[in-house]
Amino acid sequence: MKQKMENKKGQVVLMVLLASALVLTLGLSASRITTTETKIDTDQELLKKAFNAAESGIDYYLATGDKTYGDDSSDGSADLSVTNLGDVKSLSFNSVTLVGGYEYFWLVNHNSDGSLGSTYYSASANTVDICSSKKEAGSFKVDYFYLNGTTYGVSRQILESDGNGCISNFSLSAGSSLLLTISPIDSAGKIEIKGNVNFPVQGEQISATGKVEGVNNTVTILNRYDVFLTEGIVSGGDVTSK
Residue 29 covered by a domain: no
- 209 torsion bin: left (phi>0), alpha (psi -120 to 50), beta (else): beta
Lowest mean pLDDT among 83-92, 119-128, 226-235: 226-235
Domains: count for the chain = 1
Domain residues for 178?
Answer: 88-199
What gap in Å lies between CA 222 and CA 189, rounded to an integer?
A: 19
Residue 113 covered by a domain: yes
The percentage of residues in the chain with a pLDDT greater than 90, rounded to a whole number, is: 62
Q: What is the pLDDT of residue 113?
A: 87
Residue 137 covered by a domain: yes
All residues at 6 or more sequence positions from 31 whose CB lies less than 8 Å from its CB, including other chains: none
Q: Which of 142, 151, 128, 149 is nearest to 233 (CA)?
A: 151
Average pLDDT over residues 233-237: 43
User: Quick one: pLDDT band at residue 237, thresholds 50, 70, 90?
Assistant: very low
Q: Which of 209, 133, 196 is nearest to 164 (CA)?
A: 133
Residue 53 covered by a domain: no
Neighbours of 99 (CB within 10 A): 12
Residue 96 covered by a domain: yes
What gap in Å lies between CA 58 and CA 81, rounded to an integer?
A: 10
Each residue's pLDDT tens digit, 10-24: 566 567 666 666 666
User: Quick one: pLDDT band at residue 68, thresholds 50, 70, 90?
Assistant: confident
Each residue's pLDDT tens digit, 188-197: 999 999 999 9
Q: How much is the mean pLDDT over the chain?
A: 84
Distance of alpha carbon 45 from its chain centroid, rounded?
23
CATH of the domain at 131: 2.60.120
Each residue's pLDDT tens digit, 42-63: 678 889 999 999 999 999 999 9
